[in-house]
Amino acid sequence: MPDIAIIGAGPAGLIAAEHLAVAGHRVTIHERMASPARKFLLAGRGGLNLTHSEPFDAFLTRYREAAGWLEPALRAFPPRALRNWADELGAETFVGSSGRVFPRAMKASPLLRAWLRRLDGLGVRLATGRLWTGWNEAGALTFRLASGETETICSDATLLALGGASWPRLGSDGGWAPLLAGRGVAISPLKPANAGFAVAWSPLMQERFAGQPLKRVVLRFAGQTAAGEAMIDAKGIEGGAIYALSAPLREAIDRNGAATLRLDLRPDLSEDVLAARLTKRRKGETLSNHLRKAGGLSPVAAALLREAAGPDLPVAPEALAALIKDVPLRLGASMPIDRAISTAGGIAREAVDAGFMLKSLPGVFAAGEMLDWEAPTGGYLLQASFATGVAAAAGMEAWLAQR
């Protein structure tokens, strides 16, 4: 019976361990942190968004350039399969109003506890407090233990599921990248994904409005739109609607040094209707009060108008309505990668075969966020992590069988 080492106890590593153990393999998961799935648990604090219910063809487009690469894995383990798996663990799922899929408990901890019990019942061993440091001259895996000691492990096959470089305090710091690059594995630079962007706010905006949300807005950039909420940060802007456009925004900033995002602060009203409302300004009424009452703008939204157009806003209702419907906001660099939700870049597509084995390291496989793909929030990140974990487990079984 082959001995399999899985390095990383996030969703990709745990689901691969489950599939390999069911197939009869001896599996040990080696985890750097003191407990498994730290980032998974954090993601579940606000409601664990497992996947999305939209039609598969639309779902696939969320992975942009990586869609063709990930398609076989996603078709083999699609959103419906992930929901069935969660349901079998007792974490019954439901579809929210946005099409996102959640467990009824809206938390990750009950699901993870049930999952770890299942893995334990399958004989999977979990070894924590073990930082992977590469290979020794004989090809054995090397680890630095929490005690400071070192240890070597020989395995018949290895799966790397170490995550990206976001949330380093939870164990994913991208430290694996130079280790693999030194072994001839092509690595695309790690960059922040689903991250906010720097904005040169005025002192007033920083002091009075940092931490306040822009609710029910629509953002536009390069022919793409995103609806939802954005959050003003002292150094920039972030939030779900920003994250949905983070990839094209980041790429434009990399090319040009900056990007101009357009915001519709009243997407529920047409420009003509909004202009008609703005004509009804009472004598002596302040512009701030007029924007709040007639324009329906919150104080932070009105402040954003002044950031974009200066303190002297248009007087004509038509011009003011046009500005509210199309506010330009100049964005600078992405927020640091350790503040991002996920990571772009990683192990390049050409570095792995169809079974997710590293071409330059036979017997070593990779899955999850280590691979060079990205997706917006909304269930797409977890779905691809699970699906590539399942696909890498299948690739490992096929490779072991050929030996």
- Are 56 and 151 members of one domain? yes
The total number of structural domains in the chain stands at 2
- Are 256 and 203 members of one domain? yes
Burial 363-383 (b: 16+ CB within 10 A, else e): bbbbbbbbbbbbbbbbbbbbb
- Is residue 85 in a domain? yes
Q: Which domain holds residue 350?
A: 3-191+343-402
- Is residue 336 in a domain? no
Q: Checking phi first, is residue 318 left (phi over 0); if not, alpha (psi -120 to 50) or beta?
A: alpha
CATH number of domain containing 7: 3.50.50.60
The secondary structure of residue 160, as a DSSP letter, is E
Across 361-376, average pLDDT: 97
The helix or strand, by DSSP H or E, that contains position 276, with its residue range, turns out to be helix 271-278
In angstroms, the CA 133 to CA 184 distance is: 16
What pLDDT does residue 293 have? 92
Query: Which of 285, 302, 331 is the last residue in one of the domains?
Result: 331
Residue pair 267/301 in contact (Cβ under 8 Å)? The answer is no
For residue 154, what are the contacts with CB-CB under 8 A and spacing of at least 6? 3, 140, 141
- Are 171 and 224 members of one domain? no
- Are 299 and 201 members of one domain? yes
- Is residue 338 in a domain? no
Sign, Cα dihedral of 386, 392, 397, 398: positive
What pLDDT does residue 311 have? 79
In angstroms, the CA 20 to CA 34 distance is: 23
**Does residue 317 carry a pLDDT above 90?**
yes
pLDDT band at 280, cuts 50/70/90? confident
pLDDT band at 215, cuts 50/70/90? very high
What pLDDT does residue 287 have? 85
Query: Which of 278, 306, 331 is the last residue in one of the domains?
Result: 331
Paired tokens of 91: 């974490």
- Is residue 287 in a domain? yes
Residues 111-123 pLDDT 10s = 999 999 999 999 9
In angstroms, the CA 94 to CA 104 distance is: 6
Of 75-89, 270-284, 359-373, least confident by mean pLDDT is: 270-284
- Are 291 and 178 members of one domain? no
CA-nearest of 13, 27, 12, 346 to 191 is 346
Residue pair 221/169 in contact (Cβ under 8 Å)? The answer is no
Query: Which of 281, 307, 331 is the last residue in one of the domains?
Result: 331
- Is residue 337 in a domain? no
The secondary structure of residue 334, as a DSSP letter, is B
- Are 67 and 115 members of one domain? yes
In angstroms, the CA 112 to CA 119 distance is: 10
Paired tokens of 367: 């899955």
The secondary structure of residue 315, as a DSSP letter, is -
Paired tokens of 125: 């061993």
pLDDT band at 297, cuts 50/70/90? very high
The helix or strand, by DSSP H or E, that contains position 363, with its residue range, turns out to be none
Distances (CA, A) of 152 to 130, 155, 185, 372: 11, 10, 22, 28
% of the chain exceeding 90 in pLDDT = 91
**Does residue 201 carry a pLDDT above 90?**
yes
- Are 63 and 184 members of one domain? yes
339 or 76, higher pLDDT: 76
For residue 28, what are the contacts with CB-CB under 8 A and spacing of at least 6? 3, 4, 5, 6, 124, 125, 126, 127, 153, 155
In angstroms, the CA 210 to CA 204 distance is: 10
CA-nearest of 167, 187, 166 to 177 is 187
Q: Are strands 187-193 and 342-347 parallel, antiparallel or unpaired?
A: antiparallel
What pLDDT does residue 3 have? 92
- Are 166 and 253 members of one domain? no
**Does residue 302 carry a pLDDT above 80?**
yes
Residues 135-146 pLDDT 10s = 999 999 999 998
The helix or strand, by DSSP H or E, that contains position 192, with its residue range, turns out to be strand 187-193
CA-nearest of 355, 389, 351 to 369 is 389
